[in-house]
Amino acid sequence: MKLDLVTGRGMSERQLEARKRMRDVRTMVKALCCREGALVTLMPFYMAFGMQLDKIKRQELDLQSAAMEAEVYRAMWVARGLSTRILEAIRTELFDIPSPVP
């Protein structure tokens, strides 16, 4: 059976849920980036960070472990030229992950 990527026919319920979750994360991150004045050319990278944080949230880690995991990703994206302020806003406002405690 040919997979219809537009309508989702032929996709399992799990695949449809993952697709919806990814769309929702991308929409939220894009709105935050627009509000914060991020360059349009960098938005795919902010969205990738958002997807990484979504994965952390789905793992249901305790807050400190989630914060440490998110910090690793934040540092990686800052090293690649993204704004610390925007990355931290994505982390705290969209995913409710706190800053790690030293």
Please give the model's pTM, rounded to 2 decimal places: 0.85
Q: How many C-beta neighbours within 10 Å does residue 39 have? A: 12
Report pLDDT digits (tens) over 2-22: 455 555 566 788 999 999 999
Q: What are the DSSP E strand ranges found in 1-102?
A: none
Mean predicted confidence (pLDDT) in 40-67: 95
Q: Is residue 23 domain-resident?
A: yes
Question: Which residues, at least 6 apart from 28, have a Cβ–Cβ distance to it below 8 Å?
Answer: 50, 94
Residue with tokens 């997979």: 3
Q: Is residue 8 part of a domain?
A: no
User: Is residue 82 a part of any domain in this protein?
Assistant: yes
Q: What is the pLDDT of residue 74?
A: 97
Residue with token string 């405690």? 101
pLDDT digits (tens, 9 = 90+) for 56-75: 999 989 999 999 999 999 99
Task: Provide the pLDDT confidence category of residue 52 given band limits of 50, 70 and 90.
Answer: very high
4 in a structural domain: no
Q: Is residue 1 part of a domain?
A: no
CATH number at residue 86: 1.20.58
Q: What is the pLDDT of residue 60?
A: 86
Cα 15 to Cα 8, 9, 24, distances in angstroms? 9, 11, 14
Model confidence at 101, pLDDT cuts 50, 70, 90, reads: confident
In total, how many domains does the chain have?
1
Q: What is the pLDDT of residue 4?
A: 56
